């Protein structure tokens, strides 16, 4: 079975000539290069492409983060390709402790242009182009005991929430079917609150085949199913567990349910027919943590 893993390489041709400045120490006005003041600037256009197009992100093997917290985490992991500081942020940075940002290629962007590429209501003044993290699926399988598997998940907010919850609940990795939403969608990246850098996320070509592989490797693969007789709170999940969560509108496919070695139900009161995918995932992950 072929498992598709999005490889992350350091080189990215479209950024080879970009962001030539670095912050070796305090710069005087005469040492600074020009500020980007036009949204038609090629680097700004490329940022916009990375923000809007999954295809562009895959081709460049890079994505965009916004905000100081995720910027610092990306620096620590050595993933930052280039940084873009708003004029206001950069002016404040000159009088602050700049040790964290030393050596990072950067450009200064006028506040107006920065606002046009920012995806937040109150921009913090830092946008970075970041290399996609690399993960070895075989190594993950050798060491993992708790996995969350997502089939055709489409909502960026749900995916971000699930990744963040996966870290909090101690899951070892998040695995997505190839038709799920792009994990590097800006909304996903933002809602992970940095968990994307700390929790492996991989895509596989054949999720059903991957479930079969996990069964062979001794995992209890768990599907939530309204027709199941076992309450999720009373089930025996074993030492190694992989939970399957389905599409927001349709749930798991019949093939995914059939492939799972254990079917459980999350009881619901009233006239509710289903739970939000993020809520169902959180309940299942914390139940596994509790066991």
CATH code of the domain in which 74 resides: 3.30.1330.30
Residue 230 · residue 264 · CB < 8 Å: yes
Instruction: Give how many domains the chain has, as a whole number.
Output: 2
**Per-residue DSSP letter, 271:** T
Residue 252 dihedral angles phi and psi, to the nearest 5°: -75, 145
For the segment 128-162, what is each residue's pLDDT rounded down to a tens digit?
999 999 999 999 999 999 999 999 999 999 999 99
In a domain, 1, yes or no: no
Q: Mean pLDDT throughout 245-255?
A: 93
- Are both 146 and 86 inside the same structural domain? no
Residue whose structure tokens are 């969608």: 185
Q: Calculate the CA dihedral of residues 127, 182, 135, 147 and round it to 10 degrees.
A: 120
- Are both 99 and 150 inside the same structural domain? no
Query: If pLDDT is split at 50, 70 and 90, which confidence band does 13 have?
Result: very low
Residue 11 dihedral angles phi and psi, to the nearest 5°: -80, 145
- Are both 60 and 176 inside the same structural domain? no
- Are both 127 and 149 inside the same structural domain? no
- Are both 66 and 99 inside the same structural domain? yes
For the segment 96-128, what is each residue's pLDDT rounded down to a tens digit?
556 677 788 999 999 999 999 999 989 999 999
In a domain, 2, yes or no: no
Is 18's pLDDT higher than 80?
no
- Are both 91 and 162 inside the same structural domain? no
Which residue among 65, 99, 131 closes a domain?
A: 131
**Higher-pLDDT residue of 16, 133:** 133
pLDDT above 70 as % of the chain? 86
Could you tell me the CATH number of the domain that includes residue 220?
Answer: 3.40.1280.10
* Lowest pLDDT segment from 94-98, 195-199, 216-220, 249-253: 94-98
* Long-range residue pairs from 24-27, CB within 8 A, at least 24 positions apart, any chain: 24/102, 24/103, 25/98, 25/102, 26/94, 26/98, 27/94
**Higher-pLDDT residue of 120, 27:** 120
- Are both 76 and 158 inside the same structural domain? no
Which residue among 114, 131, 148 closes a domain?
A: 131
Q: Locate the DSSP E strands across 117-163.
A: 126-131, 146-150
| Cα distance between residue 66 and residue 144, in whole Å | 30
- pLDDT score recorded for residue 8: 34
| Cα distance between residue 4 and residue 148, in whole Å | 17
Query: If pLDDT is split at 50, 70 and 90, which confidence band does 29 have?
Result: very low
- pLDDT score recorded for residue 33: 53
| Cα distance between residue 89 and residue 105, in whole Å | 16
In a domain, 42, yes or no: yes
In a domain, 280, yes or no: yes
Query: If pLDDT is split at 50, 70 and 90, which confidence band does 93 have?
Result: confident
**Higher-pLDDT residue of 214, 8:** 214
Which residue among 110, 131, 152 closes a domain?
A: 131
At residue 261, the 3 state secondary structure works out as: coil
- Are both 209 and 124 inside the same structural domain? no
- Are both 260 and 203 inside the same structural domain? yes
Query: If pLDDT is split at 50, 70 and 90, which confidence band does 19 have?
Result: low
- Are both 230 and 199 inside the same structural domain? yes
Is 74's pLDDT higher than 70?
yes
- Are both 149 and 79 inside the same structural domain? no
Rg (CA), the chain: 22
The domain of 234 spans 137-290
Mean pLDDT of the chain: 88
- Are both 176 and 257 inside the same structural domain? yes
Is 198's pLDDT higher than 50?
yes
Is 6's pLDDT higher than 80?
no
In a domain, 8, yes or no: no
In a domain, 7, yes or no: no
Contacts of 225 (CB under 8 A, 6+ apart): 252, 257, 263, 264, 265
In a domain, 4, yes or no: no
In a domain, 6, yes or no: no
């Amino acid at each position: 079975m072929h498992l598709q893993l999005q490889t992350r390489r350091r080189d990215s041709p479209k950024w080879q000539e970009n962001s030539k400045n670095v912050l070796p120490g305090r710069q005087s006005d005469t040492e600074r290069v020009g500020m980007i003041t036009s949204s038609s600037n090629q680097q700004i256009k490329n940022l916009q492409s990375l923000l809007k197009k999954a295809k562009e992100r895959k081709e460049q093997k890079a994505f965009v983060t916004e905000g100081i917290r995720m910027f610092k985490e990306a620096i620590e992991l050595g993933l930052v390709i280039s940084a873009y500081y708003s004029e206001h942020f950069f002016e404040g940075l000159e009088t602050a402790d700049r040790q964290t940002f030393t050596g990072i290629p950067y450009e200064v962007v006028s506040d107006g242009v920065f606002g046009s590429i920012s995806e937040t209501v109150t921009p913090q003044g830092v946008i970075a182009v970041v290399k996609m993290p690399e993960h070895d699926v075989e190594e993950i399988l050798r060491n993992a005991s708790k996995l969350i598997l997502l089939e055709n998940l489409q909502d960026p907010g749900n995916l971000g929430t699930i990744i963040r919850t996966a870290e909090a609940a101690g899951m070892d990795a998040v695995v997505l079917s190839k038709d799920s939403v792009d994990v590097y969608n800006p909304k996903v990246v933002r809602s992970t609150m940095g968990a994307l850098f700390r929790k492996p996320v991989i895509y596989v070509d054949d999720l059903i085949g991957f479930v079969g592989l996990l069964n062979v490797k001794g995992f209890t693969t768990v599907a939530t199913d309204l027709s199941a007789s076992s309450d999720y709170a009373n089930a025996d999940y074993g030492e190694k567990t992989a939970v399957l969560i389905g599409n927001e509108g349709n749930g798991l496919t019949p093939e995914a349910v059939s492939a799972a070695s254990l079917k459980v139900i999350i009881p619901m009161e009233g006239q509710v027919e289903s739970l939000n995918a993020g809520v169902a995932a959180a309940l299942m992950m914390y139940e596994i943590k509790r066991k």
